[in-house]
Amino acid sequence: MTAQPDLTVNIGALKLRNPVLAASGTFGYGSEYGRFVDLADFGGIVTKTLTPEPWPGNPPPRAAETAAGMLNSIGLQNVGVEAFIRDKMPYLRTVDTALIVNVGGGPVEEFVHVTERLSDCEGIDALEINMSCPNVSGGMDFSTDPRRAAELVSTLRNITGLPLIAKLTPNVTDIGEIARSVEEAGADAISAINTLRGMAVDIRTRRPMLGAVTGGLSGPAIKPVAVAAVYRIASQVSVPVIGIGGIMSGEDAVEFLVAGATAVQVGTATFVEPRAGPSVARTLAEWCAASGVHTVRSLIGSIQIPSPEDAPCHRS
Amino acid sequence: MSTIPICQYDAEILTNREIGPSLYWIDLLAPEITRHALPGHFVHLIASDVSEDSSRQTWLRHTPLLRRPFSIAERDPERGVFGLIYRIVGGGTEILATRRRGERVDVLGPLGRTFDPVRAGRPVIMVAGGVGVAPFLSLAQETARDGRARPEDMTVLFGAATAGLLSGEEKFREYGVDVRLATDDGTTGHHGLVTDLLERELASSPRRCAYLYACGPTPMMRRCQEIAREAGIDGQVSLEGIMPCGVGVCMACVVACAAPGTDPGTDPGAAPGAAPGERSSSRRYERVCDAGPVFDMQEVVL
C-alpha cells in the first residue's frame, strides 16, 4: 500500500483539503445535508444563489427526469442575502470546510448589493458569481456576451477582496472567449459549466414537463459537454478552472482534472446519493493510490493530445 | 425542520408482491427508519438493485437516475419492518416491481412533516384516492396501536378506478376502522366519486367528522378542500411532487401556497403577466418534501 495521496489543491489564495466541492443549488445552505452527512469530507461547499431580496422562483413543475439526467427550472428561489447572513451563516461558520457563497441577481446593482453585504460577513472564503442561470428572465445571462461578462466581474472586483469565481454557461458559441474576458476583468477562477438549456414534453398531454417550458439539463448526460468546455477554457486562461457537469465518481473527477480542471463540483449526484461528494473524494484518492499518483495536482491539465502524425489514418 | 434522524439503509426486501392490477406491496427491513417513522412520513428510495454491488456504487447507474418518494403505509417496530404501496407509473416503479425477496434497496428516511394525530373525542374522516391510501393505513394502524383515540372515531372513504385497486381495505377493518368504498366503474361500493361519499356523510351525520384528512389525485383533494371550506372543517392533505433530493435543498417539489390574507381559492402563481423568475409578492412556494408532504387543508393551492 502506497502513502495516502496528497489531495490538496489551490483556487487562487484558497486552499482546499480535496478538490471536491458541493455545487450551488444542489446543497441548499449546508445545514440540510449537514444533518446526516459530514461536511468536513468535502473540499468545500457552494451555497444556493443569493439575491438581495427573497425570491419566489418559477411555477411548478420544476424538475423532470430525462435520460441519464434531469431538467430543472427552479428560478433561483432563495431566502435573500439578509436572511442568509442572519439565519444560515451562524451554522455555516461552524462547518469545517471551505465556504463559497454563490451570488446572483437581475441587474448589476443587485450583484453589487449582495457582494457588498457578503464581503462584510465573517466566515466566507470566496464568492461564485452566477452569471449564467438559464431559468431567470430579464438579462440574467451575463455570460453570453464577453463585454457584459467582463463589466460585471470588474465591477465586483472593485468592491470585494474575496476571491471571485465566475460561473459560466455552456449555452454559447465559444466559452473560451467568455473565459478570457472574465480572467482579464479580474476573476480568480472560473466554474464551468452551468446547466444546458433543455426541454421535455409529455406526449400524452402535449404539455412541457416544466412549468417554465424550458430549463437546465444536468447529470451524467452533460458530462462530455462539460469536459470539452473545461478543456477549451483551460487552454485559454491561466486561472484555475472548476469543472462541473455529471460527476458521479472519482474516475469522473480524474477525467476533469486531466482535461484541465483544478477542482470539481458535484451536483445532481448528491440528490441520488447524499454522500456523493465525499464518495467522489474517497474514490479519487483510491484511484490516485492505485495509479501511483502522489498528488492530484499532477493530474491537472495532464491531457495528452496526440500529434497529427501519431493519429491513425481514417479512410472513408 | 424535524429532529427525527435521517437514516440511509440498504434495506432488505422481505416481500414485494402484486396486490392489484399494476399495484404492489413491498416490505423493507430497516429498523432505524421503522423505529422513528410516524404517520405521514415518506421514504426516498433507489429502485435499482444494490444487492450484488458490495462497493455501494450502484447509484452510478444513470437511468432511472433519481430516487422516488413513497409514503410509509405500515410499520412493525418489533421486526424493524415497514411497508409501502406503489403503482407502476414509470421507469422507477417498473424496476421496483421486478425486485425480489432478499435483494436490497437503498432507502433514505423517514422524511417530511407528519399528520396531526387523531385525538380522542375528535372524530375524523380520511378521504383516500388510489395509492393515496398509503399514509392513512399508517395513521389508522398507529391510532389503533397507541389507543389514544377510538378506532370508531375514524371513517375511511376509499375510492379508486375499479375494485381491484382498493387494496388495503381489509387492513382498515382489522384496525376496527369503518370503511366506505367508491369506484369509478361501479365494480364495488358507490358508483362514482369518493368525494360524493364525503358530501353524503357530512350531510347525514355531520358529527362523525370534526377533522378531515385527504390524499389522492389533485382533483379529488381540490374537491375535499371545497367541501371542507363550505362545512367549516379543518384538516390536512398529503401531497406528492417531482422530488429530486427529498431533503429540502433542490427547491423542485414546490406547491403554491396561499399568501396570508388572500383568497385561498385563487392561484398565487397566476399573477397577471408574471413571467418565470419575476418577483411577485403574492406568490409563495413551499417544498413538498420539507414543509410537507402534509399541509394544512386550506394552505395549499391545488
User: pLDDT > 70: what percent of chain A?
Assistant: 94
Chain A residues whose CB is inside 8 A of the B247 CB are 32-33, 35, 274
Q: Given an 8 Å threshold on Cβ–Cβ distance, is A56 in contact with B284?
A: yes
Top-confidence residue, A141 or B208: B208
Rounded to whole angstroms, the Cα distance separating A118 from A128 reads 12
pLDDT of residue A254: 98
Strand partners, A191: A167, A242
Q: How many CA atoms lie within 13 A of A266 on its CB side?
A: 33
Closest CA to A248 of A230, A224, A225, A223: A223
Kindly identify which residue of chain A lies nearest to residue B66, measuring between CA atoms. Answer: A272
CA distance A200 to chain B (A): 14
Give the phi and the psi of residue B301 in degrees, each rounded to 5: -105, 105
Chain B residues whose CB is inside 8 A of the A58 CB are 276-277
Chain B residues whose CB is inside 8 A of the A272 CB are 46, 59, 65-67
A residues 20-79 lying closer than 8 A (beta carbon) to B: 25-28, 32-33, 35-36, 48, 53, 55-65, 67-70, 72-77
pLDDT of residue A2: 54
Q: Given an 8 Å threshold on Cβ–Cβ distance, is A63 in contact with B252?
A: yes
Rounded to whole angstroms, the Cα distance separating A7 from B132 reads 48
CA distance A218 to chain B (A): 11
pLDDT of residue B2: 55
Q: Given an 8 Å threshold on Cβ–Cβ distance, is A272 in contact with B276?
A: no
Q: Given an 8 Å threshold on Cβ–Cβ distance, is A77 in contact with B6?
A: no
pLDDT of residue B269: 41
What is the residue-wise DSSP string for A18-83? SSEEEPTTSSTTSHHHHTTS-GGGSSEEEEEEE-SS-B--PPSP-EEEETTEEEE-----B--HHH
Average confidence (pLDDT) over A215-233: 97
Most B CBs within 10 A among A36, A37, A272, hence the mutation to make, goes to A272
Domains in chain A (CATH in brackets) are: 9-310 (3.20.20.70)
Among A121, A133, A288, A313, the one annotated catalytic: A133
Given A26, A35, A272, which is nearest B59 (Cβ)? A272
Place of cell 430516487: B67
Given A58, A69, A211, which is nearest B65 (Cβ)? A69
Given A70, A136, A140, which is nearest B65 (Cβ)? A70
CA distance A23 to chain B (A): 11
Mean pLDDT score across all residues of chain B: 88
Q: Which three cell numbers stand for residue B128?
A: 383516500
CA distance B52 to chain A (A): 18
Most B CBs within 10 A among A27, A33, A38, A58, hence the mutation to make, goes to A58
pLDDT of residue B63: 77
A residues 136-165 lying closer than 8 A (beta carbon) to B: 136-138, 140
Q: Given an 8 Å threshold on Cβ–Cβ distance, is B242 in contact with A61?
A: yes
pLDDT of residue A309: 74
Average confidence (pLDDT) over B89-102: 92
Give the phi and the psi of residue B136 in degrees, each rounded to 5: -80, -30
Beta strands in A106-231 (DSSP E): 126-130, 164-167, 189-192, 196-198, 201-202, 207-208, 215-218
Do residues A185 and A150 touch, judged by C-beta distance below 8 A?
Answer: yes
Top-confidence residue, B262 or B204: B204
Confidence band of B265 (pLDDT split at 50, 70, 90): very low
What is the residue-wise DSSP string for A269-298? HHHH-TTHHHHHHHHHHHHHHHHT-SBGGG
A181 pLDDT higher than 80: yes
pLDDT of residue A3: 73
pLDDT of residue B152: 87
B268 pLDDT higher than 60: no
Q: Given an 8 Å threshold on Cβ–Cβ distance, is B276 in contact with A75?
A: yes
A133 is catalytic: yes
Between chain A and chain B, the number of residue pairs with CB atoms below 8 A apart is 137
B4 pLDDT higher than 80: yes
Q: Which three cell numbers stand for residue B282?
A: 403574492
Average confidence (pLDDT) over A254-269: 98
Q: Given an 8 Å threshold on Cβ–Cβ distance, is A53 in contact with B279?
A: yes
A99 pLDDT higher than 50: yes
CA distance A211 to chain B (A): 9
The residues near A210 (Cβ < 8 Å, ≥ 6 apart) are A61, A62, A63, A64, A71, A72, A73, A199, A200
CA distance A56 to chain B (A): 6
Top-confidence residue, B187 or B273: B187
**Residue B282 CA: distances (Å) to CA of A279, B276, B278, B290:** 42, 14, 12, 21
CA distance A229 to chain B (A): 22
A141 pLDDT higher than 80: no
pTM above 0.95, yes or no: no
Predicted confidence (pLDDT) per residue in B168-179, tens digit:
899 999 999 999
pLDDT of residue B260: 62
Chain A residues whose CB is inside 8 A of the B248 CB are 28, 32
The Cα angle at residue B219 between residues B214 and B225, in degrees rounded to 5: 50
The complex's ipTM works out to 0.91
Rounded to whole angstroms, the Cα distance separating B4 from B281 reads 33
Chain A residues whose CB is inside 8 A of the B250 CB are 25-26, 63, 72, 74, 271
Q: Given an 8 Å threshold on Cβ–Cβ distance, is B67 in contact with A271?
A: yes
A residues 184-213 lying closer than 8 A (beta carbon) to B: 211-212
